[in-house]
Structure 1
Amino acid sequence: MKRIVLSLLISIVGAGAVLAQQKGFTIKGKIGSLNAPAKVYFVSHETKTLDSAILKNGTFQFKGIVKKPGFADLSLDRYGVGKDNIDLENNTDELTFFLDNSEITVNAQDSLIRGKVTGSKRNDQYMAYDKYIGGTVTAAYKNYRNRISPYLWNSYPFTKEFDEYMYRFKTRRFEKQLKFIDENPESLFSLYALTDIISMGFDKDMSKTGAAYRSMDVKLRNTQEGLRIGRLIQIRSQGAVGTMAPDFTLYDVNHKPVTLSAYRGSYVVLYFWVTGNDLIKAENYRMSKASGLYKNKKFKIISISLDPEKKKRVWEKEVRENNLPWVQVWGLKSGPLATTKLYGNLGTPVSIVVDPDGKIALKDLNSHELQYQLAEYMK
């Protein structure tokens, strides 16, 4: 799974210089009594700077100036193997904090991941926000994954359990972020919460996300980042949960038309995918399980290939060879791309559930999340 990182607040406040202090920052830290070759790497998300310091009796220090406050990472290279190598590890020892031009202290007994950052009021506010919403997706991912032996990480039972856990965690976190914005409309971290919701792809209910955005203080909405989020919400409200699913006519492998509205009265899963990807193959396998599980109910799957026209023959071959037991469509030229735009420019693989009345019930689901949700709908 691609390493998840906290979203960068790009130009979080339009007049960033107002927030930034001119004196610069100092980060003084201590991690036990570690010495060379142990190193600490410092990365600022805002400026994209990378620096390192060799530990001496556990101590390290970084100095600089940030024009716009934003997130930064400290990561521990315990054995001096290099930044690229520690980034490949599943248990990266890393601490993320909110960086401004303050005198910052980092104390950690044995590892950065359990370190404590003090000295910055802005970071204190971030930590209060992070605690309120239940922590980061990265932390939840690592904590759950590390409870089980690595050789089981790719097993079907674990991935199913893991995906369901992460779906529940992100759903709870989304609701807490919305509540935080409602209670703190003038907070910088209300804007960050919306940035995080959008960039993490968890803006499944755009009516709630849009309402939260509109409840936020107008000064934050009028910043560069606030305006960007507003435009994205407007775009993604197309095909939002609770709205009527936009109709379309696409074509199957035998060039016969398939129209969404013809399936009114059934639950319909719109499954957006592309060929030639191991992740997609795994999703197809899981989708097959969902197809078999609900074959005796009013439940249909329409797979919409987003392959370009030059890969149409590859798509046809894969559909026929794998004998995928549901409707497979591909639109001529830009047909599928136009279709995905109707639903808010989705990625792949991802699914949307349309209810029997033709309304979008669920959006942006992977196959495990889909099965978890369908189990509730199909009781």
Structure 2
Amino acid sequence: MTNTLLALLLLAPGLALAQKPFAYHISGRIGSLNAPNKVYLTNGELVDSATLTNGAFELHGTAELPTRANLVVQANGYHPHAVLTNATSVFLEPTPVLVRSDGRLRDATTSITGGPLTTEHQQLYASVPPNATPQQYAQAYTAFIKTHPTSWVSLMALWDMGVFAKREYDEVGPLYAALSPDLKRSRPGRLYGDLVQGLKATRDRERTRRLQTVPKPQHR
């Protein structure tokens, strides 16, 4: 992944992907970092934080819904508008998540393990080639969605596709239609369904406009 596109994905709001509150637990080691470095858990807003002690950290709390969130390492306080030079994304889920890094969370050597959502999330990111173009991102995400129609990560991927490519009904409409009924009934699924209907209406209006502007044949 390119740093620019990864940064955009990290800034994209996480999606609520289930229906029951649960306790989350994220722990691990990020190099040998110490104070004033801290690790921050964010999801559009600051959720939690922990001081790094020889790289070790632990975050735990309660979340209303499983969702993607960001782990961000910063020194001297949290700076929400700073460039995310040391960050990665994780899933808050009932299964504990373990993060291992040599010091930079974006490095390929960083390991993130956990439950099913974490596994699928890592599979999705691994499918994107290094220094990928927006088109390659779209191709990788499309392939993942097609092969994982029941995965919550696929629904997240559909939302994320709007970060690096303009949404078009003919592209995302069939992907959404192929998702499982449970995904489409979820709150983020219903919201995306509304988006798809809006895209379809836009496409249909454009087709009608083009038909109306086609010159009529001249009869001699």
- Please report the TM-score for the alignment, with normalisation by the length of structure 2: 0.78
Matching of residue 179 in structure 1 with residue 178 in structure 2: no
Larger Rg: 1
Alpha-carbon contact 2:137-2:164 (below 8 Å) kept? no
Measure how far apart 1:109 and its partner are. Answer: 1.3
What is the deviation of 1:123? 0.6
| Alpha-carbon separation, structure 2, partners of 1:122 and 1:87 | 28
One-letter code of the match for 1:222? R
C-alpha distance in structure 2 between counterparts of 1:134 and 1:98, whole Å? 21
Higher relative contact order (CA 8 A, sep 6+): 2
Q: Could you say what secondary structure the match of 1:101 adopts?
A: coil
Q: 1:204 to 1:49 in 2, by over 3 A?
A: closer
Deviation at 1:126, TM superposition (A): 0.8
Pairs within 5 Å for 1:128-277: 128-134=123-129, 169-198=133-162, 200=163, 202-240=165-203, 244=207, 246=209, 261=213
Which among 13, 27, 46 is matched to residue 8 of structure 1?
Answer: 13
1:65 aligns with 2:51: no
| Cross-structure match for 1:88 | 82
For the Cα contact (< 8 Å) 2:172–2:196, is it kept in 1? Answer: yes
Deviations 1:113-167 (A, max 9, x none): 22321233321111112222448xxxx5xxxxxxxxxxxxxxxxxxxxxxxxx8x
Task: Structure 1: state its 5+ residue gaps.
Answer: 141-165, 248-259, 266-379
Aligned length in residues: 206
Relative distance call for 1:133 and 1:53 in structure 2 (3 A) is same
Q: Identity across aligned pairs (percent)? A: 23
Report the Cα offset of residue 176 of structure 1: 2.9
Contact 1:206 1:236 in 2 (8 A): yes
What amino acid maps onto 1:116 in structure 2?
A: S
Compared with structure 1, are the counterparts of its residues 239 and 40 closer, same or farther at alpha carbon in structure 2 (3 Å cutoff)?
same
Structure 1 SS opposite 2:145? helix
Q: CA RMSD in A?
A: 3.0
Cα deviation per residue 1:5-36 (whole Å; 9 max; x = unaligned)?
443354334xx11xx5x4x2222221222222
- Mapped to 1, the partners of 2:97 and 2:164 lie a distance apart of 32
Q: Which amino acid aligns with 2:188?
A: E
Amino acid at match of 1:120: G
Aligned to 1:315: none
